[in-house]
Structure 1
Amino acid sequence: SVPSTTPSISLEDAISTAESQLSGKFNEHPATLKFVAKKDGSLALTHVVQIQNDETGAWFEAFVDAHSGELVQLTDFVAEASYLVLPITKETPTEGFEVLTNPQNIAASPAGWHSDGTTTTTVTAGNNVITFKGAQTNTTTESSPVLNFIYRQDPTQDPIVPVNVDAARTNAFYIVNTVHDISYIYGFTEAGFNFQNNNFGKGGAGNDRVTVSVQDAAGINNADFATPPDGQSGRMRMFLWDFTNPRRDGALENDIVVHENTHGITNRLTGGGTGRCLQTTEAGGMGEGWSDANAEWTEHKNATIVDFVLGQYVINDPAGIRSHPYSTDPTVNPLRYSSLQTLSEVHDIGEVWANLLHNVYAALVGVHGFSDTAHTDPTTTGGNTVFLHLFLDALPLQPCNPTFLTARDAWIQADANRFGGANFCTLWTAFASRGLGVNAANHQDDSTVPASCT
C-alpha cells in the first residue's frame, strides 16, 4: 500500500532523530519529502535531510520515515578514495608516483571530490572539476571499487595508450582538486568566485566547476586556461609535447597543471569575479607570473630556498621553459623591474613578476620559517603560510588591470589588513631588491625603502 502523503512526523522531529542517530547536525540544506522502498519492499514516505559532523568529516543523507520516525535509508557522501598520482609537492614524474588515500580536505570539499552533495560519481568528475579526453563523457572510471584510481603510467609508450590516458586524467583530477582545496582555505571560496558546481548556499554563482581536457587535440607544446565570469566553468586544456619520443603529457607535469589552474584564481579574484581584469599586457604578464609563483609554492618541502625551474619534464631539459631559474641570486636570474623596458610578451613579463615573488617568498620564510602543514592549515605561522595569505588577499585589493606598482601596493595593504603590517619592511626590502622600491615608476628601477625600514 502507498502511505499517506501527509507526514505524521514533523520535519523537526525527523531532523532530531537523524541528528541523534548519526551524531551530527542538520546542515540547513533544504529538506525534501520522497517515497523510498524499504528493505522489505514496502514504500515509505520519508523526510530527506542532510546531517554533517564537521569534526569527523561525516556527511549523510538521511531518509526518516515521515509516519514512524524510523531511519529507513542512508546515503554516505564520504567515501574512501585512492589515487596513483604525482603528489603536488613533486614537479615531474621522475620523482615518483604515489598512492594517496583521501587527499581531499573536507574543510574545502565537504562532499569529497566525487560528489556535489546530491550526485555521486565513480569517475574523474565531481563538484570541483571534471577531467576527460575529447568529450566530457570520456572520463576515467575507478580501477576498482570503491573510488580506487590506480593507473600506472608507462613512460615507454606514447601518452595516448589507454593506461597513460587514465593516468593523465587521474593526475589532473587530483591536482586541480588539490589546488581548489588549498586556495579555498586561504580565501578563494564560493563568495570569492571560485569554481564549484554546488556552492552549498555559501554565496557566489555555482555550476562552474573546472573542465580539464587532457591531451586536447587543439594544440601542441602548450596548455591554457580560459576564465569566464563566475557561474561559467573555467576551461583548462592540456596538450601533448613532442620534444621527445615517446611524446610527453603536460597533465603529468604538476607545475604546468598548477600554473594553468592559477590563471583561474587570479582572473576571478582580480575584478570581482568578472574574469576581465587582467587584459593589459602588463597585467596579463603578472598573471603568468602569479601562475609560476603558485606552482613553485606548492612544491616547496622545507625552509631551504632553492632555485625553481618550470617545465623541465615536458621538453626534457633541466633548464625548463623559462629564460632563467627563479632565484635570489642576481647572477642566476638578473631580471628586475626595469627589465620591462624591453619586454612585451606576457610570459617574459611574467618571469620578472614571478622572480620578484620568489624573492618575497624567500624573505618571508627567512623571517618566519616554514610550516610543514601549510597546504591544509592556513592558521600556521610559517613564511610559506604568510606568503600564500598575502598572495590571495592582495588580488581583490588591486585595481582592474594592475601594474607592478599597484600589485606591489596591494601586497603591502594585504599585510596591513591581515598581519597589522608586521611584514612591512620585509616586503619592501624584497621588492626594492629587484628595483620595485618606493620611487620606482615607468619601468625605472628604484631600490629605496620607506624611511622606517632603514
Structure 2
Amino acid sequence: MIGYRTRLSLAFTVFGVAAGAAMAAPALQERPPQILRPDVSGPLGNTNNGGTLPTLSSALLSHGHAQGSLGSLQQTEERHGRGGVTHVVYQQSSSDGLAVYKAYVRAAIGADGTVLQIIDHLANVPGGPSKASTINATQALQIAATQLYPGVALQFTATTSQGATSSFDGGTFFYQQPRVTAVAVPMADGSLAQGWLVETWADSTNQLLNTLVGGDGTLLQQISRTASDSYNVFLDSPAAGPQTIVEGAHPGTSPSQKGWLYPEQNTRQFLQGNNVSAFLDSNLNYIRDCCTTPVLGQQDFLYTENLNYQPDYFMNRRVAATNLFYLNNRVHDILYIHGFTETEGNFQDQNFGNWKFGLGQDSVFAVAHAGSYLLFYRDNSSFATPPDGYHPRMNMFLFDDQLFGGGDARVYVSSPSTAIYAYHAAFGPSPWVMPLPPPTGNLSNQTDTQAIGSTATAEMVVATPADGCSAITPGVAGKIAIIDRGTCFFQIKAINAANAGAIGVIIVDNRAESLFQMVGAGNLPVTSPGIPSVLVSQTDGNMLKALVAPKGRLAATLLRDAALDSGTVYHEYGHGLTWRMIGDMWGPIAGAIGEGASDTVAMLINGADVLAAYSAGIPSGVRRYRYSGYPLTYADVHGAEVHNDGEIFAAVMWRLIESFGSARRDDLFDLFVDAMNYTPSSPTYENMRDGQLQAVAHSNHPADRCTIWAAYAQFGIGVGSSAVINPDFSVTTSPSFVKPADCP
C-alpha cells in the first residue's frame, strides 16, 4: 500500500492485536531470530564434510539448541545468490508432521561449502507431538471470520483438502477460497499445541489476512499480507513526458523466456503473459471489464492517452491497461536481472524448471481503475502477496484532490479569483466527464471552449426560495443557482433549478463537515436534470453568497491514473519482492521497512528522490520530504505510521544511491536484492543494515562496506543502534550515529 501523508486511514495496515484486545492470551513463544556468523560466533562448519543438514544441526546444537528442536527439519527453499553463495531454508516440524508456526533456519553457504551465516528462528520446544486441538478447521475459520468481518453473515462449505490444508467455499465475499492449515504453535511455556492458520482474502478491500487460531479457539495473531509486443506507454509518468512506443521482450530470452505476451493474445482481448495479466475492474467485482484492450493488428497496443479527458474515457482505459502491463513486465525483468528470479520466489506462471522447491502459476494480476466507479476507492494502491503458487494482486486506483482535503470538482470564481473545493453529484451530467485542467489567470477571460465538460462562465445567484424545494423564480435563468441544503432531496433542488433555466447548481452544506457525494431521490432517473450540480462546504458557500454578483463556473480537477505512474507501480511490486524474499513484513518495524524498501525499488529504477509525484498531483510526491537532504533520523521512528517510519530506511537507501552514483547504480541494485537473502523475517533496521553488509562482504565489491556504514550511521542506524516494540505497538529507538573505527 503506497500510503499518503494526510490520509492516514487509507495507509492503515493491520499489524497485530491492539493492546487490551481479546486475542491477548495464551501467549505465543516470542523469540527473535539469532544470527550466527563465523566472525562473531566462531566457525559454523563446512557442508562438504558431512552434508548440509548435519552441518547446520551441529552448529545449532553447539549454540544452545536441544536435539528435539532439530529432529524434523525439512528443506523448503534453495536459492542461488551472488558470489556463488547458496541460500537454503529449513522448516521446523513437530513429530506428528505439522509445520511449527514461523519456525525456520536459513543458511548462507559459500561456493567452497563454508557456512557463512545461519539465521536461527527455531522454536525452543520438545520434539514430541503437539497438544491436540479441540476445534476443527471449519470452526477455526468461523471463529476468525467472526472476528475479522463482524456483521457479515458468512457460511463455509469445505471443498478440497491437501495435506494439512483445507479449502472452503465462502461465497462472493472472498476473492479466493479461504484456506485453513493445521500448524504446531510454539507456546510461551515451551509446549507445542495444534492450531490453525486461517487465510482469508476479502474481495472488496484486497486485504489478504493470516489469522492464527489456537486449538482452544483463542485468536493468537493476525497478519496482513497486503501492504496497499509493442506498447504505446508512459515510461515514467505523464508528468515526465509523452508516450513512447516500446517493444516487449522477445521469447527465448531471459528474464522473460516466453516474452511478455502469450502468442494466443493476438486473437484475444486481454493483456496476459507469463509475468502479468493486466485488466480493468471499475466495479471492483473482480470480473474483467469487457473489451478494454483489443489488439491492433497482431501484437500491437498503440493507444494514445488524451490527458484532457478523464481516465474513464474509452481510449484512456485502454492506455491504462497497456501501461500497467508494460510497467509490471518492466519491473519483473529489472528485478530478475538483479536477483529476484524463480529460485527467489518471483512471480511467473511457468518457472521453466528453475526452482526445485517452488511452484509457478503466480503471475501478478494487475488491476487498473480498481473500483473507479465507486468513489470511496481513491488515492491509494495496494499489493497483496499470497504464498508461492498463488497469484498476487495489484490494485491501482484513481487519484483526486480529496487526498488534500478537497473534492473532485471545483467552483472557479472570477472575482476575486479563487477556486473552491466541491464534490459532484451522483445525478445529472457530471461536471468531470470531460474537464480541462484548472485554468490560470483571470477566470473572467476564459472562453467557453476552455471549459469543455463544465458550465460556461456565468453569474452565480442565490435561488429563491433558498432551499430550492419548490418552484424557483426565473432569476436563475442562464446562471448558476446557489441553493441551501435541507428540507428535500438534492436532486429535487437541481431539477427545480433546471426548470427555472439555471445552467448549473451549487448546493451549500448546512453543517460543518467533510464534503461528500450528493445522491439522487431514488425514484428519479440519474440522468435528471440535464445540468451539473456540486456540493460546497458551509463556509465556502456562505462566502459565495456574500459576494456581489460573483461570476464563475463549475469544473473539475482531472482524476489521475496510478496505472500511468511508474513510481506507484514499482512501489507496489516492491512489496511482493520483500514478502517473497525476506518473509513476513509484519509489525510496526518490519512494515515500515517494507514501505521504505518499496520506495527504494522505485528510486533505483527511476533515479528520482520523490515518489508518486504524478499520482499525488504535487512535485514533492506523497512523502513528507524529498529523500535528497532528508531531515529526519532513526530518533523519529515511533511506530505510529508505517509509511512515515519507512521513510527513514528509504532515506538511507537514497543516500547510498547518491554515494554509488549513476555509474554504479546496478551494483547497488544487486546488493539491495541479494542482501534480502541474509535478512530474517520481520526484520529490524539493523537486520537490513547487517544483511547488506553480509551481501557486500561476499560480493565483488567488499570495499563498499564503509559506504554502507556511513549511510546508515548518518540516519542513526550506526554501531550499537537498536529498537524495541512496546506492548502498545509503539516503537522506542536508541539511535547511534557512530561508524566502525576502521571506517573514516
* TM-score, scaled to structure 2: 0.44
Question: How far apart are 1:396 and its partner, in Å?
Answer: 2.3
State the match for 1:395 in structure 2. 676
Secondary structure, counterpart of 1:236 in structure 2: strand
Question: How far apart are 1:103 and its partner, in Å?
Answer: 4.9
* 2:636 partner amino acid: S
Tell me if the contact between 2:266 and 2:299 (Cα under 8 Å) persists in the aligned partners: no
* 2:297 partner amino acid: P
**Higher strand residue share:** 2
State the match for 2:161 in structure 1. none
Question: How far apart are 1:138 and its partner, in Å?
Answer: 4.1
Tell me if the contact between 1:190 and 1:199 (Cα under 8 Å) persists in the aligned partners: yes
1:101 has 2:247 as partner: yes
* 2:329 partner amino acid: N
Tell me if the contact between 2:324 and 2:366 (Cα under 8 Å) persists in the aligned partners: yes
1:425 has 2:706 as partner: yes
1:207 has 2:497 as partner: no
1:287 has 2:594 as partner: yes
* 1:181 partner amino acid: D
Decide which of 164, 185, 188 is 2:337's aligned counterpart: 185
1:361 has 2:661 as partner: no
1:339 has 2:636 as partner: yes
Q: Take 2:699 and 2:340, find their aligned partners in 1: how far apart are those partners?
A: 15
1:323 has 2:620 as partner: no
State the match for 1:233 in structure 2. 391
State the match for 1:386 in structure 2. 667
Decide which of 435, 438, 446 is 2:736's aligned counterpart: 446
Q: Take 1:162 and 1:119, find their aligned partners in 2: how far apart are those partners?
A: 20
Q: Take 1:282 and 1:104, find their aligned partners in 2: how far apart are those partners?
A: 41
Distance 1:92 1:414, change over 3 A: farther
Q: Take 2:701 and 2:604, find their aligned partners in 1: how far apart are those partners?
A: 23
Q: 1:100-124: per-residue Cα shift (whole Å, max 9, x none)?
A: 12356921001101128x9877541
Question: How far apart are 1:147 and its partner, in Å?
Answer: 0.8
* 1:205 partner amino acid: L
Q: 1:69-126: per-residue Cα shift (whole Å, max 9, x none)?
A: xxxxxxxxxxxx2110112xx344442211112356921001101128x987754111
Q: Take 2:669 and 2:238, find their aligned partners in 1: how far apart are those partners?
A: 23
Q: 1:369-423: per-residue Cα shift (whole Å, max 9, x none)?
A: x3xxxxxxxxxxx420111111111112111100001111001001112236221
Decide which of 270, 275, 282 is 1:128's aligned counterpart: 275
Decide which of 230, 234, 240 is 1:86's aligned counterpart: 234
Secondary structure, counterpart of 1:213 in structure 2: strand
Tell me if the contact between 1:93 and 1:252 (Cα under 8 Å) persists in the aligned partners: no
Secondary structure, counterpart of 1:182 in structure 2: helix
* 1:448 partner amino acid: V
Tell me if the contact between 2:249 and 2:256 (Cα under 8 Å) persists in the aligned partners: no
Structure 2 counterparts to residues 193-272 of structure 1, below 5 A: 193-203=345-355, 204-217=358-371, 219-243=377-401, 245-271=557-583
Secondary structure, counterpart of 1:259 in structure 2: helix
* 2:361 partner amino acid: N
Q: Take 1:229 and 1:139, find their aligned partners in 2: how far apart are those partners?
A: 31
Percent same amino acid among aligned pairs?
35
Secondary structure, counterpart of 2:610 in structure 1: coil
Distance 1:360 1:193, change over 3 A: same
**Higher helix residue share:** 1
Computed over aligned residues only, the root mean square deviation of the Cα atoms, in angstroms, reads 2.0
Question: How far apart are 1:252 and its partner, in Å?
Answer: 0.8
Secondary structure, counterpart of 1:164 in structure 2: helix
Tell me if the contact between 1:188 and 1:194 (Cα under 8 Å) persists in the aligned partners: yes
**Greater relative contact order, per chain length (Cα 8 Å cut-off, separation 6+):** 2
Tell me if the contact between 2:248 and 2:260 (Cα under 8 Å) persists in the aligned partners: no
1:412 has 2:693 as partner: yes
List structure 1 segments (4+ residues) > 6 angstroms apart after TM superposition.
118-121
State the match for 1:170 in structure 2. 322
State the match for 1:7 in structure 2. none
Secondary structure, counterpart of 2:616 in structure 1: coil
Tell me if the contact between 2:361 and 2:391 (Cα under 8 Å) persists in the aligned partners: yes
Q: Take 1:222 and 1:269, find their aligned partners in 2: how far apart are those partners?
A: 24
Decide which of 310, 317, 320 is 2:611's aligned counterpart: 310
Q: 1:351-371: per-residue Cα shift (whole Å, max 9, x none)?
A: 111111101121122xxxx3x
Tell me if the contact between 1:83 and 1:100 (Cα under 8 Å) persists in the aligned partners: yes
Question: How far apart are 1:162 and its partner, in Å?
Answer: 1.3
Q: Take 1:181 and 1:120, find their aligned partners in 2: how far apart are those partners?
A: 22
Question: How far apart are 1:321 and its partner, in Å?
Answer: 1.2
Q: Take 1:296 and 1:391, find their aligned partners in 2: how far apart are those partners?
A: 12
Tell me if the contact between 2:293 and 2:321 (Cα under 8 Å) persists in the aligned partners: no
Provide structure 2 residue ranges, at least 5 long, that are not aligned to the other structure.
1-228, 282-286, 402-407, 409-556, 724-732
Q: Take 1:259 and 1:192, find their aligned partners in 2: how far apart are those partners?
A: 19
Q: Take 2:734 and 2:641, find their aligned partners in 1: how far apart are those partners?
A: 18
Q: Take 2:265 and 2:352, find their aligned partners in 1: how far apart are those partners?
A: 13
Tell me if the contact between 2:266 and 2:298 (Cα under 8 Å) persists in the aligned partners: no
Aligned length: 340
Q: Take 2:612 and 2:248, find their aligned partners in 1: how far apart are those partners?
A: 28
Q: Take 1:298 and 1:120, find their aligned partners in 2: how far apart are those partners?
A: 30
Provide structure 1 residue ranges, at least 5 long, that are not aligned to the other structure.
1-80, 272-276, 301-306, 371-381
Tell me if the contact between 2:250 and 2:258 (Cα under 8 Å) persists in the aligned partners: no
